[in-house]
């Protein structure tokens, strides 16, 4: 299948046109798409009129799927789909005090999906179904390019450091009523390398974000200072891309080399619903 590729920014992102993801990709085309994705960290497929089954099928061609850690966020009948939304099942606006609304606000912090799991996610694919008139964009940061731009002393300093990722640190504002005791127990704090080596490209990337709580062997103050400085470095404008969603857009990103965050919008009056599938990782990072 023929398709075209154009860069979104010099450091992150590519747009692929010419593919209809309602149809299965042949193996050669899929391998080419995967290489574009690995090279550019995120890939935009605009104007895709896919349904949930087609999104699930495409995502499974990348790898096995994982389920989001909170059943309340899974789509009824299709638990592989996480709905990033401010809408109830009947598409009415959620109340401001709904637990999921706080989760949505927490997702405005830079993070990488499932880094709070021992085997963190490989990829995520997000498809726009309903978008607000303004706001609600998603920003992405290339943490591999950000690592490459670090000075040599910082690279040496973080090379062997281990950072603890903790969902209940990054989501400490969320109402725990949204989680069952079993769900809480399933995601204890986990350890990852701060300078993570990508298993496919071999590049190192800064592996932090809002789930990163503390670095082993450091005081709380020193640990937080280094994590915050690395996050600030990785999310400079030069390493980032902001996507202004249009209905039908699908973005596939590499959680092993990217941070992302959703931006605010008028959630009390505007409707937004995007469907995400998450591709599971294949092995622990340590």
Instruction: Answer whether residue 114 is part of any domain.
Output: yes
Q: Residue 111, Cβ neighbours under 10 Å: how many?
A: 25
Q: What is the reported pLDDT for 103?
A: 85
**Residue 280 has what pLDDT?**
98
CATH number, residue 58: 3.60.130.10
Residue 209 DSSP label: S
* Structure tokens that stand for 48 in this block: 């895709």
* Pair 84, 245: CB distance under 8 Å: no
pLDDT in the model for residue 1? 82
272 CB-near residues (< 8 Å, 6+ apart): 84, 85, 86, 87, 130, 131, 132, 136, 265
Residue 284 lies in a domain: no
Q: What is the pLDDT of residue 171?
A: 80
In the block, tokens 């996507």 appear at 243
The pLDDT assigned to 116 comes to: 96
CA distance 187 to 167: 7
Asked if residue 286 belongs to a domain, the reply is no
- Does some domain include residue 15? yes
**191 is a domain residue:** yes
DSSP category for residue 71? G
Helix, coil or strand: residue 70: coil
| Beta carbons of 8 and 35 less than 8 angstroms apart | no
Instruction: Identify the pLDDT of residue 96.
Output: 92
Q: How far is CA 105 from CA 88, 112, 139, 160, in A?
A: 16, 15, 14, 33
State how many domains the chain has.
1
In a domain, 251, yes or no: yes
Domain membership flag for residue 65? yes
Q: Cα dist. 8→43, 128, 171 in Å? A: 9, 18, 31
- Point out the residues of the chain with pLDDT beneath 70: 173-178
**pLDDT per position as a tens digit, 60-75:** 999 999 998 777 778 8
Overall size of the chain counted in residues:
286
Q: Is 245 part of a structural domain of the chain?
A: yes
Question: What pLDDT does residue 175 have?
Answer: 55
Confidence at residue 176, expressed as pLDDT on a 0 to 100 scale: 52
Residues 6+ positions from 220 with CB-CB distance below 8 Å: 214
Tell me the pTM.
0.96
Residue ranges making up the domain that contains 249: 4-87+95-279
């Amino acid at each position: 299948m023929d398709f075209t590729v154009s860069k979104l920014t010099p450091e992150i992102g590519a747009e692929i046109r010419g593919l209809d993801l309602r149809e299965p990709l042949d193996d050669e085309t899929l391998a080419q798409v995967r290489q574009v994705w690995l090279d550019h960290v995120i890939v935009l497929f605009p104007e895709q009129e896919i349904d949930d089954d087609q999104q699930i099928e495409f995502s499974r061609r990348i790898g096995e799927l994982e389920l989001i850690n909170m059943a309340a966020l899974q789509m009824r009948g299709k638990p592989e789909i996480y709905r990033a939304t401010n809408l109830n099942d009947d598409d009415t606006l959620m109340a401001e005090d709904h637990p999921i609304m706080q989760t949505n606000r927490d997702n405005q912090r830079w993070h990488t999906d499932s880094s709070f799991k021992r085997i963190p996610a490989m990829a995520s694919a997000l498809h726009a179904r309903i978008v607000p008139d303004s706001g609600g964009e998603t920003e992405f940061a290339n943490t591999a390019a950000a690592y490459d731009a670090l000075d040599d002393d910082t690279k040496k300093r973080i090379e062997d450091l281990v950072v603890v990722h903790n969902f209940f640190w990054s989501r400490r504002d969320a109402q725990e009523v949204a989680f069952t005791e079993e769900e809480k127990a399933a995601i204890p704090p986990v350890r990852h390398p701060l300078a993570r080596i990508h298993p496919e490209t071999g590049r190192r990337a800064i592996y932090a974000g809002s789930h990163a709580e503390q670095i082993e062997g450091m005081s709380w103050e020193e640990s937080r200072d280094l994590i915050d400085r690395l996050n600030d470095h990785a999310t400079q404008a030069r390493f980032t891309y902001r996507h202004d969603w249009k209905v039908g857009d699908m973005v596939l990103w590499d959680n092993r080399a990217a941070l992302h965050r959703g931006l605010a919008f008028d959630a009390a009056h505007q409707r937004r619903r995007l469907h995400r599938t998450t591709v599971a990782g294949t092995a622990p990072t340590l």
